[in-house]
C-alpha cells in the first residue's frame, strides 16, 4: 500500500509542494515525513495537507497553519 499527500493552498486549490515527497509504504512513514517537512511546506505555500491511501480513500486533512500556531 502506498500513502500519498495532497498539498493545498488556503482556498483548497491543489499546489505543488516545495519539498517533493517520496513514496510512503506505511501511514507512519507518511506522517513522519510530514512531521519533518511541514514548516518547509508551509513556507512554500501549502496551507493544508490531505493524507490518502493507495485506494484514494482520504484518511484525514491537516492544517499546516494551525500546527504553526499550536
Query: What is the tens place of the pLDDT at every residue in 16-64?
Result: 999 999 889 999 999 999 999 999 999 999 999 999 998 999 999 999 9
* Cα distance between residue 67 and residue 70, in whole Å: 5
Three-class SS state of 1:
coil
Report phi then psi at 67, rounded to 5. Answer: -65, -35
CA 13 to chain centre: 13
Query: What confidence score (pLDDT) does residue 44 get?
Result: 96
How many helices (H) and strands (E) are present in the chain, helices listed first?
Answer: 2, 3
**What is the Cβ-side half-sphere exposure of residue 67, based on CA atoms within 13 angstroms?**
18
Amino acid at each position: 500500500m502506498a500513502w500519498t499527500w495532497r498539498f493545498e493552498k488556503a482556498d483548497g486549490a491543489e499546489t505543488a509542494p516545495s519539498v517533493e515527497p517520496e513514496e510512503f509504504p506505511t501511514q507512519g512513514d507518511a506522517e513522519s515525513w510530514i512531521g519533518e517537512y511541514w514548516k518547509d511546506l508551509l513556507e512554500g505555500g501549502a496551507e493544508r495537507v490531505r493524507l490518502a491511501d493507495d485506494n484514494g480513500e482520504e484518511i484525514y486533512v491537516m492544517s499546516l497553519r494551525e500546527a504553526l500556531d499550536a
